[in-house]
Structure 1
């Protein structure tokens, strides 16, 4: 049998929850609860499209021109998004992750980012996927295993499934009071603004309507457990939560762009992030990991 494009497939089960995690990028291909799709994933015989379920390490979103300055040195990354002229979504999306722990409901995958032109730093990435009867939890650690301090960002790119609900009728609640505005051509930040009295205000949970959003939010309201929660009300109610260290969340409706969900399972990307777009240039939210230091982040998805 031919190897699937996303490599080895690992199925996780607990109660009525089933997930498939893949070798390529260590990402999430599918998640169902009670046989109903919770994420808008992709088929076994296909590559991940539009970032579906992928991990974004050591940076999420875009770096302007692929260039940045860190610790007094200039670096230049390959341009991976030709339409905008930027380096996008990190270095691990298509790399192999290998299992170190495996149970029916849990798997731990690891990958080493070796130094290379544009990113001369060494990282050990460890991601644990676990399911339970209500959904899924993703726990990630990134450890600097090189001799020099390293710039690090993290993101994940799940699409929450809409099912048969049109995107215009879906209700999305994002408990954030600020949004990162971007220029329409290169999708790079032009400023962070209060959401009040703008189309980006999603605090009230009203229907999306004709909004087209591809923006990062911050100023997230957290509960007593230290987590923020984004809620999507479509065919079912789905909640994506993020813990400490994840201070931004990207929302991508994708209805008007070629790389969006058109032609694929309908969904809205809700992406937990440790930093906003172009953080390697701005320094905003950027983590500087000393040799031997570790960054940890956790997020998850639950359904009613």
Structure 2
């Protein structure tokens, strides 16, 4: 199921699967690559929760002395990838200035026994396109999470500014590791990794980071690049965000066109 919204500032289309932002236009500029009916195979625009990308351990979420073993859904890299929300159905609703996607989770999976409600909002106004997520802890224990979005931006010649000074080193199966210096992108090869960036500009499009790191992915010669704002990773340098029972946490990022 898809739902669309438009106003004088732009337009968006959101899929119920994964609360995925599959189309966005601001100030007359179409921002996102159109995958057609293959959008879901690429997790295009999906919300990634309770962790984005891959954990340093590959499959183990360690929290408050316990270990939760996630199933592998990325065989190539022997890892759990993007949590589970890209494959969950959200309930869509119209907002005065955008769209809302909500999802209730009962905590039934033994590898994530934390009941919660996610409320995702996409709104458009004079400040740009705002992506926000609210996580309500419906359980009786502290809830660990990181989250992010997976939009693919149109581009024929990628050029991210400023160039990151550091990245997270990857092991032989692309699990994130230690922080290392980074001297620049080689766009003639596949780019896939977590980069430390305080701000992100792709041409005249700016994406507000959610944390010190942002995931970037582009296959060789692709007419798009995924710039994934994330709150962190399952990684020793990025402790889990924690929501107490009965409490909530909120995550907000903004995409703009022009200065």
1:285 aligns with 2:239: yes
1:296 aligns with 2:250: yes
CA distance in 2: counterparts of 1:293 and 1:193, whole angstroms: 36
The residue number in structure 2 matching 1:199 is 184
How far 1:288 moved relative to its partner?
Answer: 2.1
* Cα pair distance change 1:34/1:107, threshold 3 Å: same
1:78 aligns with 2:45: no
* Cα deviation digits, residues 15-68 of structure 1 (max 9, x gap): 25111011111110111246542111332x444232210110110011334223
Q: How many residue pairs end up in the alignment?
A: 256
* Cα pair distance change 1:147/1:134, threshold 3 Å: closer
* Cα pair distance change 1:174/1:51, threshold 3 Å: farther
For structure 2, list consecutive stretches of 5 or more residues without a partner in the other structure: none
How far 1:136 moved relative to its partner?
Answer: 1.3
CA distance in 1: counterparts of 2:116 and 2:251, whole angstroms: 15
1:272 aligns with 2:226: no
The residue number in structure 1 matching 2:161 is 173
The residue number in structure 1 matching 2:140 is 147
Contact 2:176 2:194 in 1 (8 A): no
1:127 aligns with 2:104: no
CA distance in 2: counterparts of 1:186 and 1:113, whole angstroms: 30
Bigger CA drift: 288-297 or 94-103? 94-103
Q: Secondary structure at the match of 2:85?
A: coil
1:102-141 superposed matches below 5 A = 102-103=95-96, 105-115=97-107, 116-132=109-125, 135-141=128-134
List structure 1 segments (4+ residues) > 4 angstroms apart after TM superposition.
none
1:62 aligns with 2:54: yes
1:182 aligns with 2:182: no
TM-score (norm. length: structure 1): 0.76
Bigger CA drift: 68-77 or 109-118? 68-77
TM-score (norm. length: structure 2): 0.89
* Cα deviation digits, residues 222-271 of structure 1 (max 9, x gap): xxxxxxx31112xxx2111135xx33211112228xxxx5xxxx211111
* Cα deviation digits, residues 191-215 of structure 1 (max 9, x gap): 10233xx235xxxxxxx64354211
How far 1:190 moved relative to its partner?
Answer: 2.8
For structure 1, list consecutive stretches of 5 or more residues without a partner in the other structure: 1-6, 201-207, 222-228
The residue number in structure 2 matching 1:157 is 150
Contact 2:187 2:220 in 1 (8 A): no
The CA RMSD measured in Å over matched residues stands at 2.3
Q: Secondary structure at the match of 1:93?
A: helix
How far 1:128 moved relative to its partner?
Answer: 0.8
